[in-house]
Structure 1
C-alpha cells in the first residue's frame, strides 16, 4: 500500500441502500453492519441520497455542494445536479421486472428534463447466466394482457451476460438483474423506476411492494433489447464515459474536466485515509491517485460546450 502526495482530493463516503433483494457481499466495504445491501452508492447527488465528503477541501460538505460550486467551470451548468450516479450492486435475489422512462416519457409522466439510460459492468456472472431484458410480445397491448393473466415472466426476454461484459440499457427497455449478479452500475440521474412485476414480495412493513404498471407500460418500448459486449476499453455514452483500468500503478487526470475513480478490489490510501472498494475519489485536472495495480473503474461526464 502506497501513500501519495497530492493536493487535497475530495473523497466521498459511500451510501448504503438496503433492499429486499440485497445481500451481504458489499458489507465489508460499506462501513455498516447491514447484510441486505442492494446498492452501495459511490457517487450520488439526488433528493434522497447525497454523498458526504469525508476528506478534501470540501470535507464535511456534500457532493451536491461541490457540484454547485464547480459545475460552471466544467461546462455542466445546464444541470441542477451531477448528471450521473454510480453504485456497486448485489442481486442476492432477482430484481423487479422494471423499466426506466426515456426522455419523452420522463417529460410526459414526471415533468423531468431527461430520462434514464444506464450501464452495467458485470463483475460476477448471474446464476442463470443471463439478465431479463426485452419483451417477447409484438406490442404493449399483448404485454398488458400477459400481466393481467399473471404471466408476466412468460413474455420477458433474456440477455446472456457474464463476468467481464458491459451492457448499456436505454430508457424504455424492460430489464432486471437476476440472482447472483454483482455489477458496477452507472445511471443517468433520473430517479424514476417503474415496476411491472416483483414476485409478490413484501416491503419492510409487510405490505406488497408497490407496482407502477400503467407508467411502466406507457414507458415501455417493446422493440428495444440491449446487447452484451466486452467491458474492456473506454465506453462513451451520452452523459458519461467510463473505463476499467487493469494493472495500473496510478491514474492521473490529464484532462480539462474532473472524473471519479472507484476501486473494484484491493485498497489504496490518500493521505491518512484508507480507500476501499466502493469509495469514490474525485480527481480534478492534475490530480493523481495511486492504484497499486488494483482493478479500478473511472467515470466522468461527457461535456458538450
Structure 2
C-alpha cells in the first residue's frame, strides 16, 4: 500500500480579491480570472484534494484520512490536521482574525481553530501585510473599530520574496495586494472579517463583517510572534526551519543534487515552489515539478530526493516520530 508519494489534485477558490497568478506562475487550470486560492493539500470538507495516483486514486484526502490511517502513522485526530494553500492577492484581502481551538469548538460547530504561517513566494515592490494592531486595551481596540480609525489601528509590514511570518490564532492580519503566498495552517475555514475597505460583491452588496466575534477572539494588546529558525545542509539539500510550534513544523528546502533521507515523521507534506526533481523509493523514481503538491506517507521507510528545486515541507509537531518506523 503506497510505497510511493501521494500526488494531489488541488481545489481552487474564486475570491473577490483573486487574479490569474496561480495560472501564470504555476500553470494551474483555474476556474476564472478571479481565482484567489489553491488548496494544494486539503482534507477540509469545503475543498478536499483528490489523490492522483496509486490504488486510492480518485478518492478525496478526507476519505483516505478516515479509512486508511496507516498511511499517516495511525496519527490520532478526527480531522486531517493541516491545510496548505497558495494565495494570489490580486487585491487586498480583508482585515481578519481567526479563533483558537476552544472558541471554534464552541461557536463553530466543532471546527478547528486557525493558526497559520506565510511564506512569501513573490510580491510587487510595494507589497505589504497587515500583522497586528496598535491598540493597548480592549476599550481602545473597540473604539478604533467603531470609529473606523483603520490607519491608526492596523500595523503594516513591508514584505519581499522569501520572507516568512507566523500568525497565531487571535492575530489581526491581512495579505496585501500583489503578494503570492504559500500558507500552512490548521485545517479550518473559519474567518472573522473585521474590515473590508467598504468593497461590494458582484451583487452590489458589502461583504459581511464579524465585528463582535473579532473583538472576542483578538489578542489585545498585540504581541509579535517569536520563532526559532535554523538551517543545515545534508548532501544536496539545504533545509531551513521556519517555525516549529504546537500545530506544525515548516521548512524551506533547497535541493541542488541528491540526498538520502529516512522517514522520521508520520508523514510529510511537500509543495514544490520552483524547479523539478524526483523522489526515489525502493529503486523506483517519481518525478515532481513546480506547482506539485504531494505527501510522503508513513508506509515509506526511506527515500532519496534528486533534482534542482525549492519546496516547502511541513509536518505535524505533536505527532510521534516515525510512524511505523519507530
Structure 2 length as normaliser, TM-score? 0.82
The aligned counterpart of 1:164 is 162
Matched, 1:39 2:48: no
Question: Do 2:124 and 2:179's aligned partners in 1 also have CA atoms closer than 8 Å?
Answer: yes
Q: Distance in 1 between matches of 2:287 and 2:31?
A: 19
Q: How is 1:104-119 mapped onto 2 (pairs within 5 angstroms)? A: 104-112=102-110, 114-119=112-117
* Greater Cα shift, 23-32 or 273-282: 273-282
Q: Distance in 2 between matches of 1:199 and 1:8?
A: 47
Question: Do 1:124 and 1:162's aligned partners in 2 also have CA atoms closer than 8 Å?
Answer: yes
Per the alignment, in what secondary structure is the counterpart of residue 216 of structure 1? helix
Q: Cα distance, 1:111 vs. partner?
A: 4.8
Q: How is 1:240-259 mapped onto 2 (pairs within 5 angstroms)? A: 240-250=248-258, 254-256=262-264, 257-259=266-268
Matched, 1:264 2:273: yes
In the alignment of these two chains, the number of paired residues is: 299
The aligned counterpart of 2:146 is 148
The aligned counterpart of 1:302 is 317
Q: Distance in 1 between matches of 2:34 and 2:28?
A: 11
Root mean square deviation, CA, Å: 2.7
Q: Distance in 1 between matches of 2:224 and 2:127?
A: 15
The aligned counterpart of 1:100 is 98
Per the alignment, in what secondary structure is the counterpart of residue 142 of structure 1? helix
**Structure number having the greater strand percentage:** 2
Per the alignment, in what secondary structure is the counterpart of residue 154 of structure 1? helix
Q: Cα distance, 1:196 vs. partner?
A: 0.6
Q: Cα distance, 1:274 vs. partner?
A: 6.9
Q: Cα distance, 1:303 vs. partner?
A: 3.7
The aligned counterpart of 1:278 is 291
The answer for unaligned runs of 5 or more in structure 2 is: 232-239, 321-326
Question: Do 1:127 and 1:178's aligned partners in 2 also have CA atoms closer than 8 Å?
Answer: no
Q: Cα distance, 1:105 vs. partner?
A: 2.6
Q: Cα distance, 1:272 vs. partner?
A: 11
The aligned counterpart of 2:323 is none
The aligned counterpart of 1:184 is 182
Per the alignment, in what secondary structure is the counterpart of residue 141 of structure 2? helix
Q: Cα distance, 1:97 vs. partner?
A: 0.5
Q: Deviations over 1:240-264 (max 9, x none)?
A: 2221111333565512421122110
Q: Deviations over 1:171-211 (max 9, x none)?
A: 11101111111111001112211001001112233321111
Over 3 Å counting, the alpha-carbon distance change for 1:33 and 1:290 in structure 2 is: farther
The answer for unaligned runs of 5 or more in structure 1 is: 1-5
Higher RCO (CA-CA < 8 Å; seq separation 6+): 1
Question: Do 1:102 and 1:117's aligned partners in 2 also have CA atoms closer than 8 Å?
Answer: yes
Matched, 1:17 2:9: no
Q: Distance in 2 between matches of 1:290 and 1:34?
A: 35
* Greater Cα shift, 256-265 or 211-220: 256-265
